[in-house]
């Protein structure tokens, strides 16, 4: 009887450990780390090599789209600095002036950040929709 109990406890521990590892890997994979524009630009040129995630707000009036082509060239910035971004894929609907964006990519030799990923959010749009939904009477 003790041997059956030992097998059960051992099996339970192995399954529990496997679940814990899967949860930890899943959480780590979904975490999005990024740095602000001014932090990115304050690095020395040698450390700008490689892939980075940079967060900033789209500076109004800087979005340039070429007719017939996907993507855009635009500037993002924070209180101190601005960074020119080139993105050559389809733009999300929430990509507008003032939108908060996170771009992932790397700096090119011409000083433009070549992004292969663009995440944009426009919280004011969703906050307004949420407030409208709250004000409507429920049936």
Residue 100 belongs to a domain: yes
- What's the mean pLDDT in 122-134? 53
Mark whether 71 and 46 lie in a shared domain: yes
Mark whether 57 and 8 lie in a shared domain: no
Mark whether 47 and 92 lie in a shared domain: yes
| Total-model pTM | 0.65
pLDDT digits (tens, 9 = 90+) for 79-89: 789 999 999 99
- What's the mean pLDDT in 79-104? 92
- pLDDT value at position 103? 95
- pLDDT value at position 130? 46
Sign of CA dihedral 129, 115, 88, 60: positive
């Amino acid at each position: 009887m003790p041997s059956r109990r030992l097998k059960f406890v051992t099996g339970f521990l192995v399954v529990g450990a496997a679940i814990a590892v899967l949860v930890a890997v899943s959480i780590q994979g979904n975490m999005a780390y990024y740095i602000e524009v001014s932090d990115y630009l304050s690095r020395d040129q040698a450390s700008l090599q490689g892939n980075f995630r940079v967060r900033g707000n789209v500076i109004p009036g800087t979005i340039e789209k070429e007719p017939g082509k996907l993507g855009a060239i635009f500037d993002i910035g924070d209180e101190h600095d601005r960074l020119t971004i080139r993105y050559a894929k389809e733009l999300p609907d929430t990509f507008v002036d003032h939108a908060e964006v996170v771009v992932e990519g790397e700096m090119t030799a011409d000083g433009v950040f070549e992004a292969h990923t663009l995440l944009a959010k426009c919280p004011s749009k969703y906050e307004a929709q949420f407030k409208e939904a709250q004000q409507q009477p429920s049936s």
